[in-house]
Structure 1
Amino acid sequence: MRALFSVLYPVISITVFGLYPSMTIGPKEGWQVYSSAQDADGRCICTVVAPEQNLCSRDAKGRQLRQLLEKVQNMSQSIEMLNLRTQRDFQYVMKMENQMKGLRTKFRQVEDDRKTIMAKNFQELKEKMDELQPLIPVLEQYKTDAQLISSFKEEIRNLSMVLTAIQEEMGAYDYDELYQRVLRLDSRLRNCMGKLTCGKLMKITGPVTIKTSGTRFGAWMTDPQASQRNNRVWYMDSYTNSKIVREYKTMEDFVANVVSRTYNLPFKWEGTGHVVYNGSLYYNKYQSNIIVKYSFETGRVLAQRALEYAGFHNTYPYSWGGYSDIDVMADELGMWVVYATNQNAGNIVIAQMDQDTLEVQKTWNTEYSKRNAGESFMICGTLYITNSHLTGAKVYYSYSTKTSSYEYTDIPFHNQYFHMSMLDYNARERALYAWNNGHQVLFNVTLFHVIKTEDDS
């Protein structure tokens, strides 16, 4: 379930669906850009949506519309210039072939019935152009492009005036020319979508229940560092007194319970705060504050390290207990571990960890009690904490390691099976993996992105 984005809504807009294909994440006021997920087969669920164009005749107004389309082309070139100033490319938007086929079908339907709803479709086109207005505040973040943005605003105003004039006396346009311009604009917009920085959590949707199995407590995960073709799933039932890890080649095999391999770890684990990262399993060794790195490829322990002062074995667990004192995590920025210490009065400590040596590189002390937290997860260097593991839980608190500051939040999510014992973010899938009372479920996350300039990098 790979994540995508919901981006720009001009003449053509790219609509991205999350775990529910029927749910579209639309732009908010101020033109926020969001991400979403893909389906369990690893396919992008994207739909290119364009206003229905049911006009294909020609008359004197065709020239006006061609001039309008030239302005749209100029706008797309402006967007492309801005795209060149961005650096980070997450490459989450791919495989648009099926969606483009759907767009071609729509235009064929337009050509078959091009006269009956002429006025309606020009009104829709005008409305789509009006939706460009919220783009302006985002573009203003480009510090060195003030003159270009001012020109962009003027282009939008001119386009609105031309559309109003054309609507009064309907003209014709060249269907093939319009279609080619739409395709070129779509290509530029997709390039823009790839130029996004880390985002702030705005919304959690779902869950989708993948499977029901095991005890009330456990963990399951995929590797966020794996290639797009590698969709292996790992499954660790229970929170203690076990060393068995089951591997499945694909999500489909996981659902069908077709085990490809079983690993017998050298040490038992505690809690459910495990993570698979770059082919290795990181977990808390039984009755200790030691983190273990175990290689699935070699079947050997590659590293072990004790977390200084970290409580363990139900000293500072999450609110549900289960020896969940130490929680290993991974996000877009690397490896993390969350725990609590006497020195921090039992409040949560965030540590950034070297993935090879397990050495703690830096720590942040929060003021949120570990025992009062239901679960927590990292996204883009920010720790998000839920206020309960039971029904009614929500993301209540977040702590940014970038600014060393916290804020109280109010992001609800549906605790469908009433008891959450594992909640972990996967940066590749842009989804939350959860173990919910013996159910393995996925939540879709919506992130707010800010496009960076070279001066910000």
Structure 2
Amino acid sequence: MITTLLSFFFLSSTIALEPVDLWTERNGTVGPGDQCTCEAFLPGSTFPMGELVQLEQTAVQISHKLELEIVKVEMFESKLTIYMEKVVNLTVLIKIMEDDPDSYSELYIQEVKIQIKQVEALILELQASIQTSYTVLITIHKEITSIIVVLTRLETKYDKNLVLVTRREYIKLQQKLEECERRHNEIFNPNIGSCNHGGISRLSKPIISQLNANLNAGYMYGGWGKDSKPLPGSENMYWYSASTDTSVRYVSVYTDYYSLIMRQAKKTYDLYATNRDWRGTGNNYVIRNNTLYYQFANPFSMAKYNMTSQTAEYRVVPKASKRFSYHYSANQNLDFAADENGLWVTYATEESKGKLVLGKIDEVAFALKEVWQTSVFKPSVGNTFMVCGVLYATRSVDIHTDEIFYMYNTRTRKENYVSIPFKKFQENYVYLDYNPTDQKLYMFNRGYYVSYHVWFNQNNQTNKPQLLI
């Protein structure tokens, strides 16, 4: 009986640089009892299957954690409904007692006080549980983020088809985590779209989705996000645009988050054709009502591209200068933003000596209807965004940290210097915009999709019964 032995010799990286035959043969006859030996020479960069198996095992563990947290969130929602009913009932009861205090004995009043203390204890218990659960969600998000980075590295270095199945599993986990976080955040802040708050208090840690759809870190200039005023049926749509320079030509839209991560574009729009040139420049565009608002390349102006009709138009911004850009990138002369109050554009003029000017855009007339002058010098700013009619500006603290350092309130015409630090995934970013539909900041950071949850001060709430959670 002939036994065939397969011996694998892994060559060092220096040897692998030389051309080698993967199989070597030995001539001669093989008699009974002899061994037939084949030597296989494989390069040192073989696919790390063990690493992929470990990632799949981790996916199972994370899935179990998420299932537990989803059950907890469902429990929080049911408890919250019960507690709110108790609060409403007590509120009604206390109002009746206030109207006719002499009709109630001291013993009855003491019983009501005990009920109030019981509800207070229940609320404090729920608050502690929710905060603990959110800490777990943050940990899960970190784990998924780290693994997505590893998968992206494997996908760019090896055959991406080998990684595809595992990536799909993690995308499902990401979607499940997004849904769990959304429901969790609704408990904390059920008023998305409302401006009944005291401004930004803090940002979450950066949430890294993955490398861009071009699967190329060289696409450092670009942006991504969601439509700030989506058409009916497009509430889950995402968009992405990027380039190796500051030009703006292609915009891709994706049905939902899964399609974005799987790089399965629903449609890609091209702003350039043989019969027209609608290309732009800079990296501060937004999509609102299925329309791309961006900086037109020639002539220098603001433009909008209607993705429904696939037509474009532009308007010159009075006095806007091409000489002043943000700190991190050139050609960011017109910066578009959308918030709960509408559509905005920031720029600088020679007259303002490079200080930021903020304009409110009439979306129907596509023209500036009001302008505000600020005192902050645009080239010192990393980027800006709008929330509830308030302009926020960022700047660099160090290679790991930026901060929101300035805010201008268009309603009061007052400006303030603040310090709200936040971590960066990598040092430089060219895109930062807020979306009012989910109260997130979307950042394009050296080719990666990055986002942040935004938390608000609640000191402007109206005086109505509320749960302090």
Question: Residues 144-186 of structure 1: CA distance to partner in whole angstroms, max 9, x if unpaired?
Answer: xxx89x9xxx999865546889xxxxxxxxxxxxxxxxxxxxx
Separation (CA, whole Å) in 2 of partners of 1:344 and 1:351:
14
Deviation of the 1:272 alpha carbon: 0.8
Are the aligned partners of 1:248 and 1:259 in contact in 2 as well (CA < 8 Å)? yes
What are the Cα deviations for residues 42-71 of structure 1, in whole angstroms up to 9, with x where unaligned?
xxx77627889xxxxxxxxxxxxxxx9997
Greater RCO (CA < 8 Å, at least 6 residues apart): 1
Find the counterpart in structure 1 of residue 306 from structure 2.
Answer: 295
2:90 alignment partner AA: M
Q: Structure 1 residue 245: deviation in Å?
A: 1.3
Higher mean alpha-carbon deviation, 263-272 vs 400-409, is at 263-272
The residue number in structure 2 matching 1:304 is 314
d(CA) in 2 for partners of 1:292, 1:77: 55
Instruction: Name the SS of the counterpart of 1:48 in structure 2.
Output: helix
> Any idea what the Cα deviations from partners look like across 1:219-262, whole Å, max 9, x if unmatched?
11211211465322221103533411112111111101112111
1:153-168 equivalences under 5 Å are 159-161=112-114
- Conservation of the 8 A alpha-carbon contact between 1:276 and 1:282: yes
Matches within 5 A, 1:396-435: 396-435=405-444
The correspondence of residues 194-273 of structure 1 with structure 2, limited to 5 A, is 194=191, 196-199=194-197, 200-213=199-212, 214=216, 215-226=219-230, 227=232, 230-238=235-243, 239-265=245-271, 266-273=277-284
CA RMSD of superposed structures (Å): 3.9
Partner secondary structure for residue 437 of structure 2: coil
Where is the helix percentage greater, Structure 1 or Structure 2?
A: 2
**Among 75, 89, 102, the residue aligned to 1:74:** 89
The structure with the largest alpha-carbon Rg is 2
Distance 1:421 1:77, change over 3 A: farther
Q: 1:408 to 1:295 in 2, by over 3 A?
A: same
Q: Secondary structure at the match of 1:263?
A: strand
Q: Alpha carbons of 1:159 and 1:439: their partners in 2 closer, same or farther (altered >3 Å)?
A: farther
Give TM-score scaled by structure 2 length: 0.58
Query: What is the CA–CA distance in structure 1 between the aligned matches of 2:309 and 2:84, rounded to whole Å?
Result: 59
* Maintained 8 Å contact 1:71/1:159: no
Q: Partner residue of 2:293?
A: 282
Unmatched segments (≥5 aa) in structure 2: 1-64, 119-185, 272-276, 465-469
Structure-1-length-normalised TM-score: 0.59
**1:256–1:410: structure 2 CA closer, same or farther, 3 Å change rule?**
same
**CA gap 1:164/1:261 in 2 versus in 1, 3 angstroms:** closer
Percentage identity across paired residues of the two chains = 25
Secondary structure of the corresponding residue to residue 275 of structure 1: strand
Match of 1:48 in 2: 76
Work out whether residues 391 and 419 of structure 1, in 8 Å CA contact, stay in contact via their aligned partners in 2. no
Report if the CA contact (8 A) 1:375-1:388 is conserved.
no
- In the alignment, structure 1 segments of 5+ residues that lack a partner are 1-19, 25-38, 40-44, 53-67, 82-146, 166-188
Q: How does 1:12-411 map to 2 (within 5 A)?
A: 48=76, 72-75=87-90, 77=92, 159-161=112-114, 193-194=190-191, 196-199=194-197, 200-213=199-212, 214=216, 215-226=219-230, 227=232, 230-238=235-243, 239-265=245-271, 266-301=277-312, 303-312=313-322, 315-388=323-396, 390-411=399-420
Secondary structure of the residue that 1:336 maps to in structure 2?
strand
Aligned pairs, number: 305
Structure 2 Cα separation of the partners of residues 424 and 69 of structure 1? 35
Whether the 8 Å CA contact 1:240–1:268 is kept in 2: the answer is: no
Counterpart CA distance in 1 for 2:343 and 2:367 is 11
